[in-house]
Amino acid sequence: MMRKILCSLLLASFAVSAQAETKVPTSQAEISLGFAPVVKQASPAVVNIYAKIVRQGRANPFFSDPFFQDFFGRGFGEPRPRVQNSLGSGVILSDDGYVVSNYHVVGTATEIRVVTTDRREFSAQVVLGDKESDIAILRLEEAENLPYLQMRDSDHVEVGELALAIGNPFGVGQTVSSGIISGLARTGAATGNARGYFIQTDAAINPGNSGGALIDVNGDLIGINTAILTRSGGSNGIGFAIPANLVAEFLRQAQGGNDSFISPWAGMAGQHMSADIAESLGLVVPLGVVVSDLHPLSPLAEAGLRVGDVVTHVDGDEVNSPAEMKFRMAVAGVGGTSMVTRLRGEERTEVEIALIKAPETPAAEETTLDDQTVMPGLTVSRVNPAVIAKMGLVLSQTGVVVVDAGSYGGGGGLRAGDVVNSINGTEIETPRDVVDALTDPGRRINLDVLRGGRSVFLRFRL
């Protein structure tokens, strides 16, 4: 009886997607093999990654004070760097050695070693990484004729499909776990990353699986395993993978020579469509993203969208969150156009928008203060759309933002992302204003900054 049930389940799962051209087992012998042929085909393209990361230790707050530094000497009490070893997985994407992994595994590594299933070792360098997307593309040194995985169109993945996760959990060695696709288009707090867009699976994923492969029954890459929901640190059957379509765009940009990921800029703030909002807009079904703010230079504003409009589709694909809309645009890539479906009242319209980089207007004029000021190492920049996108600022923000507080600014309470309104009562409009205000400012410094939408006043004596 169990054999008949297993046979039925396997037949159903192999036929789940005609678009994927899945293969149905034709004999009892093929069924008894389970996933062995798929694993044998795919596993050589999944690698173990060992990375060394240098992290600064915590500084004693007393030694950020100039008095203690003058008394004990510069450098006394400064944090000592610590070397941490990071363990993860990766997937070979091309025969000449391009490998994808998670940014949190290798993004800040000083040394990366990649080991294949046949025990060959390669040194590797990160050629393109993006912390927000948690994707890093590596290039193996002196690599050729490597096995690699084909990437499947992840938009055609369906809930209920069989899936295999391949990686190196807890460093025990390459391991395969099986499950199904549990959900699609996962975003928000449930994933632990409100900006992400993930495929959910119940295939067991544990620490060390990060950057490994999530494949279908044909051995094609569906996604890159990146996160789990857990209270214990182990797998609870809720894992998340970055869709292969986004990985493909990262690979394209890396092979094109980009050293940072360039994503199309919408210049829009959006809000998830709740039932209450849908009712207020006269919608029967809560669908789409409500436009809550638009930057004057936004390509959506240029195309005629305005606050209060609802975006329901991008290039024919349904979007129900800002993260999902951003994903659709990122997959399309900079330089082309996308068709956006706009709902305004009862009017539904297809609007073409340009996929552009965030503009550098006005010029950022990024400036790092020197020893002639009281906060050497403080780096500030004028706010523009590119800086807004990089720093996660509100679209309407203007002025000057702290890019790096440095040791002196950090000791005074400044943080990256703080917008400097005034220093000692002098209004700040440009990075040069910061330099002038912190050059011989007297014995007291009063800073008025905007932090997370709130005014913060920092006062200290020199």
3-state secondary structure at position 376: coil
Q: What are the structure tokens assigned to 307, written together?
A: 């606050």
Helix intervals (H) in 294-345? 299-302, 322-332
Where in the sequence numbering do the catalytic residues fall? Answer: 104, 134, 210
CB 13 within 8 A of CB 217: yes
pTM of the full predicted structure?
A: 0.79
Encode the chain (462 residues) as per-residue pLDDT tens digits: 434 444 444 444 444 344 445 555 555 555 556 788 899 999 999 999 999 887 665 555 445 555 445 555 555 555 566 666 778 899 999 999 999 999 999 988 889 999 999 999 999 999 999 988 899 999 999 888 999 999 999 989 999 999 999 998 887 888 899 999 998 878 754 444 545 689 999 998 888 888 999 999 999 999 999 988 766 666 677 889 999 999 999 999 999 999 889 999 999 999 888 888 888 877 777 889 999 999 999 999 999 999 989 999 999 998 988 888 899 999 999 998 999 999 988 889 999 999 999 999 999 999 999 999 999 999 999 999 999 999 989 999 999 999 999 988 888 889 999 999 999 999 999 999 999 999 988 888 899 999 988 999 998 777
- Report the distance separating Cα 211 and Cα 105, nearest Å: 8
pLDDT of residue 28: 53
- Give the list of residues 6+ apart from residue 322 with CB closer than 8 angstroms, or none: 268, 269, 270, 271, 272, 289
3-state secondary structure at position 409: helix
H or E element at residue 244: helix 244-255
3-state secondary structure at position 183: strand
Beta bridge partners of 318: 313
Residue type, position 303, single letter: A
- Report the distance separating Cα 378 and Cα 371, nearest Å: 10
